[in-house]
Structure 1
């Protein structure tokens, strides 16, 4: 019995295992260093520290002193006992000869019982049995040293019968078993909610992982697409280079052959002239006048062959030069074909030909003769008031789009307020809700001098400010009718995506422009310009 009691003194009352690095509090109780550190950490917020064994309180966090003697004893037992694992658990108090695991502990007797001793143990009501526990003192009231039987719901404390009559009189009390069942039920409910929430988190994680996977696939696919596109462009450029170099070589070869023929002819004439010159020199040196006068080769000194032949010399200099204009034309046509090819890939079709419909232009808007420029003016235009004409500062294109992919560019100057976008032909032509973006039949990009380089987009009166600072006055509008996408880009360097509307288009779409003097006084007219790209070359137009 004495050896077993001594063995019990080697167990930490917190972890119920042999001491590991035992330390001592000022009250004299010993604990594992890690265990007591964790216990004191839980009391940091309250600022009052207590011993978990005797409840002695310390105003400051106690300094932990290493118990060298106890540490040596534990090390000695660990090194000499071949069955140390058998004494690390809770053993029966009454099994002296050899340690036997306990299955219950009696709070009244403060003893742990194996199966055999439990059979002969008293069944009296004062003998409260619990799961095996070495720190049975913790199951008793620290004040009255009585078994904790009740739970005070108001103070959330376990108390003994004497506490219920003193500090907890009048409080709502419950038996420990009942209070424990309620708390377990609450914990089960909380656990179920946590499980549900965890499942939601798992679903969100799976969803995000799927989105990440799809995004990675899109990135990989886009990289492959761009690589293939540049490979194709390089191939087309290489083919164009080969064609032009072959044409230059062909012209050079033709020119060389032609010039070689001319040179050969001139060399023959040169030799003939040299021979005639030598003969004349010989005659000039003769003293016999009869021989000079009767020489047959000098009968006509003005022989046409003696003179220069322009058609054989200088006349060929320009005729046989490389055809620079032709080469330039081939380059222009080749590059234009490549640009058209790229436009077809990116947009499905080339740039849209936008012409403004004068019949829809408000009477404070001037439309240029080429139908590319819309200018705000104070002078009211004398156009007839019709149902299709806008009342206020707005105009739409004559062309409408019912399918395909299209794009066009706009350039804005000096406008206090401008709007660019698209609308259905059924848009209202009167009132504030006729402005593009202020209804469910139009989509627009807003900006102006009054917004200090900020823009926003709007549809059905729902406004969204864009986070970007606008640095350019040129924008691109891209339409993919079947996909239901209307996108806006700022044509800065590099080009920047501003926003994309997604919708199911149910009517034809017209390009729409709005210009207003606004609340800022402007010197001169406000106008917009649409840059229209035709095949093989680029032109800039006002809108």
Structure 2
């Protein structure tokens, strides 16, 4: 709100003129005569701060009709007149003490303070809107960061899952290969020993067949009745029998199985391996737990708005107490 410069100085000067006019006037105490009435002065309704003159209704119209005086600052001399003209400040029923250049109207002290408070509150509103806008921007950034964090967690899960799946697949592959190798060795050993036994069985079968043939020959020789033929055939048979080997090989197969101590040893080695693997998994688990680092960003709206208001609009010092009124001064028109 802009006011006419030096308004208080001019008002003080004009008020002194009013007081002198009141003392010399035969009219009522609160009547201020018009400066332009020559014979019988009429009551002034307004004061021109530029001309420093009191104007009645008629001279006010003449004053305002001049183009050079249209922009002069006019002040109503009573609250009733201000209410009649419906000027700014009349609703407060106070004397209009200033002229607002922004509104081209006279205002009273209450209107001036109301406008000043209005401007102050609008400035505070601007600060609050700026702060909330900063908070809104910060929240958008926070949402983008949270989405980025969520995407990173999903990416971490996929990377760790793929890596661990690959490790355990390699472990399973090695265990399967070791199992196949051990079973293959057992099968190879089985084939070899079975082949030896089968070969020995074949030899025994062949010897058995020869023994049966010899037995049949002996039976036929036993039925020979010619003594000379019997002796000759029996001598030949004995020579043939001496050349043959009727000894049999024997194979004893031991029972093979894992002893309880062997099984326990395998289990112990497995437990040590699982323990080492669990230690590695604990490290991975710790990384998973600690992958989020929480932090709290204090938004701009959480600062003390009262402190900002006091900083932007410092409280004015208290006004000095008004001087006591003397007997010669009128309470209706105090000096400024």
TM-score (ref. length: structure 2): 0.45
Compare the two structures and name the one with the higher helix fraction: 2
Which of 1 and 2 has greater Rg? Answer: 2
Compare the two structures and name the one with the higher strand fraction: 1
TM-score (ref. length: structure 1): 0.30
Higher relative contact order (CA 8 A, sep 6+): 2
